[in-house]
Structure 1
């Protein structure tokens, strides 16, 4: 047991944030630490189930989300809203401040572990003299790119164009920077206040100010150069908690006939022959993007399994794909509409590669199983991690045009290079090599133990 320690977890309202926070909660609970995980009622219902033996230690606490103009009825996570309208979700989230303060008043936890977006957490923590840790779900590469403790960042990034080059504080060879077509939107989002009254920079500054340490989902064996730089830049303890690798999915009875048919198809494919295609819950593909990916898969002549949610622009599932696509593909590929069990798919022996958006959590899960990586970053900070993977010889990036659009031929070329062509063998071998690091449970447990020791020794 960890001396009855009580830690409050406060993630942002996005599943790409809540899931790593839940994984961290589970790791801490295994050490006997009591966890209060704060999010909204609807999100609590949608989170993965907590392991039965840890339910007494992890308390999912409802944080009421106030209504604000501009936020759709029932929207409680970024997955519920259109791309670009998360400013209203942030505005509603900021209004959770009184409920959070009331909870802290009543519970007096030992630590608060929080995300980048709750910029009000520092006020509560300092008022009640509770130490806090800023836990970044982003990679060390992304964190290091954005540089020092942020107060002078606007001078360091004088224009949108400046984001298109690696920053001057990188002490090593790196191509990590944003593509030109993304810089204007990113610059505005990072430096200009939105409907919530805060910019991305404001939230980063407030997340870092006064925190006892920064915890990060990373490890020296993969991102040592970026972690080392980050420790110099942040001027406070930067503690890697390991990669929080996925636990193998449990064997379960298949009751859904649609999934049963998909699993039957997967079982019939040769080992390491199938491309898994998935762009996550936050990546909202346009009609043109869906069509180009579909036609690229068709041109590649490779077996594939595509987990695809019905986009908001489609009237139904049939309207989502190019006309005649499924009849032309036949039994060579499966488009699985709706939520799919990603870990169950990635762990299947027939999967050999993955075409995805280069989100950090998906990188970890894909390399954990030693699959070939084909990356097509479309939003957020995914371009930075995609370039880091290319620098490390670990991924093939789909070629895009100057405006960010891409063509089916580029998709097909990248898929074939990664999966079957002799020239792509080095990428396949590199992923298998990295699998030894990403799937080393003992290595990542040691990182977690160091973080737990920090919490114990630094408790005030």
Structure 2
């Protein structure tokens, strides 16, 4: 295997991500890691999604990395979707989610045609867990298939153990806590905090069952995490699943041959120079960065509470506000006095933010996050403590890792999931709770210092994991070798 990036024609990995930012970004990052090892890597996606990663891929190709973007048309109309709805963050409402997954399944025949006519046959398929039809594709074409998870081993294991034990059926209400069985730490959750796949409507239950069946049929699992952070949960997850698990993260760190830019995942709404200049003018570790990912949809009232909480906390802050709030009362409120009152210590980014860049800046000292795994991993890897505000999916399990296992955060106090609030009026977290959590996180006392020390140590170990001799570096080597040997 050529570690210098020269094309290694003994392996061709075909990556098929789910068309959602939180799923595509880590898979493209992992594709860059593979390509940097000389592995020919093809990423199958659609035109809108390809455009978001165009700069990243072009820069990788200019550096000599064998990374390809394969674009297939997305059948929006055939699945009852408006034109241009090629990513989960483009859906106008959650009612169209089932149509979105139907559209994805309709590209199966085109994927199979592409795979069948490759000049350099695929060594393996790396599929997002949300694309169960790729299991049949792999079986039909005789290609090994691996699952790519966009969560951590800890959360994946908790999910599996809770589902298999059905322990949630033993409690009397959605708010009654129960312990996750069979793990070293005592972790308590409630039914209200479980991922939505535990209580899916009939329209989505079939998809959930297909996902579980396809996961059972996979030859292995790839996870964007690193072993030190997992505290033994990677090995326990592997034992529980009965198949090989490779932790290869944090994939966004890449390596010396992988170019990085602030438009990772999408064109940033603020240029690096402006962002850097603003941060350069702030004291070290003084800024709180606030972002809730690409899918969060808050009510107007809730967004106002967030803003007022940040204002009263009296720390400099960068707040990422989704572009979906343009031309709404939220934008009117922001521009109607809030920005003027906080102009000396706030930077509001409307749209996509260069998150890794911001988190890595010396002035950033805290991260208010929804606990999506990408954000959690990026915060920990940057050595930044977090205020946790989980919303849905694996977020509450991720919060448990941050607060109770790694002990590098402060909870804002959310008690139940809110799947795409769809701007329903109401407030789940008050401005006072926001202020209190931010002030607690940024505290300069003994507790805050200990928290910052723990997360900085994890940040250093994250870098080491991807260096030669590190656990993720070795796992990626083993993954490539095992797949190449299977096809040889």
TM over 0.5, shorter chain: yes
SS state at 2:250 partner: coil
**In the alignment, what sits opposite 2:474?**
446
Q: 1:45 to 1:272 in 2, by over 3 A?
A: same
Q: CA deviation at 1:225?
A: 2.7
- CA shift, 1:379, in A, is 2.1
Per-residue CA deviations over 1:239-296 (Å, capped at 9, x if unaligned) read 222321435985899x998765443322211111111111111222222221111111
Q: Which moved more, 1:264-273 or 1:308-317?
A: 308-317
Deviations, residues 84-137 of structure 1 (Å, cap 9, x unaligned): 232211011011111111112112411111111221111121122111111112
- Residues 379, 274 of structure 1: CA spacing in aligned structure 2 closer, same or farther, 3 A cutoff? same
Q: Does the 8 A contact of 2:98 with 2:203 survive in 1?
A: yes
Distance 1:219 1:204 in 2: 24
- After the TM superposition, which of the residue ranges 244-253 and 328-337 deviates more from structure 2? 244-253
Change (3 A) 1:173 1:332: same
Instruction: Verify the 8 A CA contact 1:356 1:375 in the aligned structure 2.
Output: yes
Which of 92, 109, 125 is the equivalent residue of 2:103?
92
Aligned to 2:184: 172
Mapped to 1, the partners of 2:298 and 2:348 lie a distance apart of 15
The aligned residue for residue 71 of structure 1 is 81
SS of equivalent residue, structure 1 residue 36: strand
Q: Which residue of 2 aligns with 1:414?
A: 437
Answer yes or no: is the 8 Å Cα contact 1:373–1:394 preserved in 2.
yes
The one of 18, 21, 46 aligned to 1:40: 46
Q: 1:259 to 1:385 in 2, by over 3 A?
A: same
Query: Residues 98, 213 of structure 1: CA spacing in aligned structure 2 closer, same or farther, 3 A cutoff?
Result: same
Is 1:432–2:475 an aligned residue pair? no
What is the distance in 2 between the residues matched to 1:58 and 1:410?
Answer: 45
Written as runs of structure 1 = structure 2, the 5 A alignment for 1:310-459 is: 310-312=323-325, 314-315=327-328, 318-319=331-332, 321=334, 323-391=336-404, 392-400=406-414, 405-422=428-445, 423-440=447-464, 441-442=466-467, 443=470, 444-459=472-487
User: Is the 8 Å Cα contact of residues 176 and 388 (structure 1) preserved in structure 2?
Assistant: no
Distance 1:445 1:185, change over 3 A: closer
2:134 alignment counterpart: 121
2:206 equivalent among 184, 190, 198: 198
Number of residue equivalences = 452
Q: Does 1:9 align with 2:4?
A: no
- The 8 Å contact of residues 174 and 388 in structure 1, kept in 2 or not, is answered as no
Task: Decide whether the 8 Å contact of 1:246 with 1:365 is kept in 2.
Answer: no
Alpha-carbon distance in 2 for matches of 1:439, 1:163: 39
Is residue 2:109 matched to residue 1:101? no
For residue 292 of structure 2, the aligned residue among 266, 279, 283 is 279
Q: What is the CA deviation profile of residues 172-201 of structure 1, one whole-angstrom value per residue up to 9, with x for unaligned ones?
A: 123253x44344955323xx4426x7332x
Deviations 1:130-154 (A, max 9, x none): 1111111211122101226x9x849
Aligned positions of 1:233-272 closer than 5 A: 233-247=240-254, 260-272=273-285
Distance across 1 between alignment mates of 2:359 and 2:229: 21
Over 3 Å counting, the alpha-carbon distance change for 1:37 and 1:326 in structure 2 is: same
2:219 is the alignment partner of 1:212? yes
- Distance in 2, matches of 1:250 and 1:185, equals 35
**How far did 1:360 drift?**
1.1
Distance 1:7 1:320, change over 3 A: farther
Q: Please, which runs of 5 or more residues in structure 2 have no aligned partner? A: 3-7, 419-427
CA distance in 2, matches of 1:252, 1:39: 21
Cα distance, 1:316–1:49 mapped onto 2, change above 3 Å: farther
CA distance in 2, matches of 1:236, 1:63: 31
SS in 1 for 2:233: helix
- SS of aligned partner of 1:4: strand
* 2-structure distance, mates of 1:8, 1:131: 11
Is the 8 Å Cα contact of residues 291 and 319 (structure 2) preserved in structure 1? yes
Please give the secondary structure, in 2, of the residue aligned with 1:130: coil
Return the structure number with greater relative CO, CA threshold 8 A, min gap 6: 2
Q: 1:145 to 1:238 in 2, by over 3 A?
A: same
Cα gap change, 1:224/1:184 in structure 2, threshold over 3 Å: closer, same or farther? closer
Structure 1 vs Structure 2 CA RMSD: 3.0
Task: Mark the runs of 5 or more structure 1 residues left unpaired by the alignment.
Answer: none
Is contact 2:269–2:349 with CA below 8 Å preserved after alignment? no
Whole-Å separation in 1 of the counterparts to 2:358 and 2:485: 41
* Residue 216 to residue 176, structure 1, CA distance change in 2 (3 Å): farther
Residue 165 of structure 1: how far off its partner (Å):
2.8
What SS class does the counterpart of residue 221 from structure 2 fall into? strand
Partners of 1:242 and 1:402 in 2: how far apart? 29
Q: 8 Å contact 1:13–1:77 — kept in the other structure?
A: yes
Structure 1 residue 28 corresponds to structure 2 residue 39: no
Instruction: Give the alignment's TM-score, normalised by structure 2.
Output: 0.84
Equivalent-residue separation in structure 1 for 2:26 and 2:188 (angstroms): 24
Alignment CA distance shift 1:96-1:206 (3 Å):
farther
| In 1, Cα distance between equivalents of 2:327 and 2:408 | 35
